[in-house]
Structure 1
Amino acid sequence: MINVLIVEDDPMVAELNRQYVAKVNGFTVIGHASDSSKAVELLATVEVDLLLLDIHMPGMDGLDFLRQLREEKEDVDVILITAASDVGQIQQALRLGAIDYLIKPFEFNRFQESLLQYKAHHFSLDRKNKVDQQELDQMLQKKSHSAQRSDAVPKGLTKTTLKKIIELTLAIDRDTFSTEDIAEISRISRVSVRKYLKFLTEIGYLEENLDYGIGRPIYRYFIKRKNRHVIIPYL
């Protein structure tokens, strides 16, 4: 059984996460902490395999707490579950070893997928003292089966520009935006921007609608909130 500690200051969200965990075989919630101080107390008294950690909490925020855990070499895995979708925060979380990053609101299927992938790795590694390269590659491929690899950028696109386009879509202060909107603020050609937006639509990060309006029809885009996790490999 995998022991889960929920670190979340909102009682309703914590309860929802507890109910979600209860639906996934092989996991049990052994505690709930409303802040990092309480989480530290629980980590010292109970065996915890996995933290479901919020970022925005009173006192020490989730990223600083994760950084502290790594500095103290705590043997615990972490999945970030938060409304924070800032690119910098996502990058920090991944660099600090978060195994996944779920952006609220999300559907149960995405939550379940994250836990099941973790479970497969947890037990695969627990049963072995050593693994060979082939076994390790298979495990790493399974971990990201629902997302494209971070180097899987289509021919003609670059990861640097793709990251810039993603950052602009997150920062733009509009519900929807067009190719022209992004081209104007990025100073990248409209033709190039269109290629990147098309790719982001193909992986499910954006949804594309044709706006007939006045004059010639134009494509307008909006971010599919439940699918924001698909961009994580590209950040």
Structure 2
Amino acid sequence: MIRVLVVDDDFMVARVHHGFVSRTPGFEVVGVAHTGADALTMVNELKPDLVLLDLYLPDLFGLDVLARLRTEGAECDVVVITAATEVDAVRGARRQGVVDYVLKPFGFEDLRQRLERYAAQHQVLATDELRGQQDIDRVLWPRGAGPAGALPKGMSAETAGLVETALREADGTLSASEAAARVGVSRVSARRYLEYFCTVGRAEVSLRYGNAGRPERRYRWGA
């Protein structure tokens, strides 16, 4: 589980964000802070993996909180959640290494997709060593806009990352149905991503013959 600290001065907004995170598989909220000082204390005590950080807090500006976290050696990742559209705020957040910058208001699906993208990055970086350029591109170009090029129309980088992770972690091969069950998408959707990976040379497919009917297509990461 990815441990999340929600930081927002508005109690109702914090409650909504808490609910959004709790509804996303693989994530759990470990605390909620309403001031910058509380956020600093709770990061130190709870050691979250990810902080959803509002910028307009009553005592400290959010980017100042982030600077303090880095100075104090906190290793958590930060997603800025704010209404601030000023270029200086976006530049400041980028310079301080935020993993995403989300404008209020937003719906559950928007945040869920962003969290899933973060989870795919988090999974890659949980290993001791990256497997090559593709892993590095997934971390540095999380939206699929990196040098490897864009995904086909109708496919998302978030789902592609989840299907890839399922395939990498499989003990042997996976069918489209098995991949769909692990990722939480339809079999048709999972097969589309699996076939795409085969087309671009990232995965290979083999056929398993049974007693009757069509042979089952089995997928393995790495061609």
The bucket for the TM-score relative to the shorter chain is 0.5 to 0.7
Task: Judge conservation of contact 1:55–1:80 (CA < 8 Å) in 2.
Answer: yes
Letter of the 2:95 partner, please give it. Answer: R
Identify the residue that residue 52 of structure 1 maps to in structure 2: 52
Letter of the 1:91 partner, please give it. Answer: R
Deviations 1:123-152 (A, max 9, x none): 2221x211143243342376113xx569x9
- For residues 110 and 91 of structure 1, the distance between their equivalents in structure 2, rounded to whole angstroms, comes to 22
RCO higher in structure (CA 8 A, sep ≥6): 1
Task: Judge conservation of contact 2:82–2:102 (CA < 8 Å) in 1.
Answer: yes
Structure 2 counterpart SS, 1:51: strand
Unpaired runs of at least 5, structure 2: 150-223
- For residues 105 and 134 of structure 1, the distance between their equivalents in structure 2, rounded to whole angstroms, comes to 35
Task: Judge conservation of contact 1:117–1:142 (CA < 8 Å) in 2.
Answer: no
Task: Judge conservation of contact 2:137–2:146 (CA < 8 Å) in 1.
Answer: no
Deviations 1:153-187 (A, max 9, x none): xxxxxxxxxxxxxxxxxxxxxxxxxxxxxxxxxxx
1:158-177 mapped onto 2 (5 Å cutoff): none
- For residues 79 and 44 of structure 2, the distance between their equivalents in structure 1, rounded to whole angstroms, comes to 19
Within the alignment, does 1:111 sit opposite 2:139 as a pair? Answer: no
Question: Percent sequence identity over matched residues?
Answer: 35
User: For this pair of structures, how many residues does the alignment match?
Assistant: 148
Unpaired runs of at least 5, structure 1: 153-235
Letter of the 1:108 partner, please give it. Answer: F
Identify the residue that residue 71 of structure 2 maps to in structure 1: 71
Identify the residue that residue 136 of structure 1 maps to in structure 2: 135
Cα distance change of structure 1 residues 141 and 68 upon mapping to structure 2, 3 Å threshold: closer
- For residues 134 and 103 of structure 1, the distance between their equivalents in structure 2, rounded to whole angstroms, comes to 31
- For residues 48 and 22 of structure 1, the distance between their equivalents in structure 2, rounded to whole angstroms, comes to 14
TM-score by length of 2: 0.62
- For residues 137 and 102 of structure 1, the distance between their equivalents in structure 2, rounded to whole angstroms, comes to 23
Superposition deviation, residue 85 in structure 1: 0.9
Identify the residue that residue 43 of structure 1 maps to in structure 2: 43
Please tell me the root mean square deviation across aligned C-alpha atoms, in Å. 1.9
- For residues 15 and 99 of structure 2, the distance between their equivalents in structure 1, rounded to whole angstroms, comes to 22
- For residues 112 and 17 of structure 1, the distance between their equivalents in structure 2, rounded to whole angstroms, comes to 11
1:184-203 mapped onto 2 (5 Å cutoff): none
Superposition deviation, residue 47 in structure 1: 2.5
Identify the residue that residue 184 of structure 1 maps to in structure 2: none
Letter of the 1:13 partner, please give it. Answer: V
**Deviating runs (4+, > 4 A) in structure 1?**
none
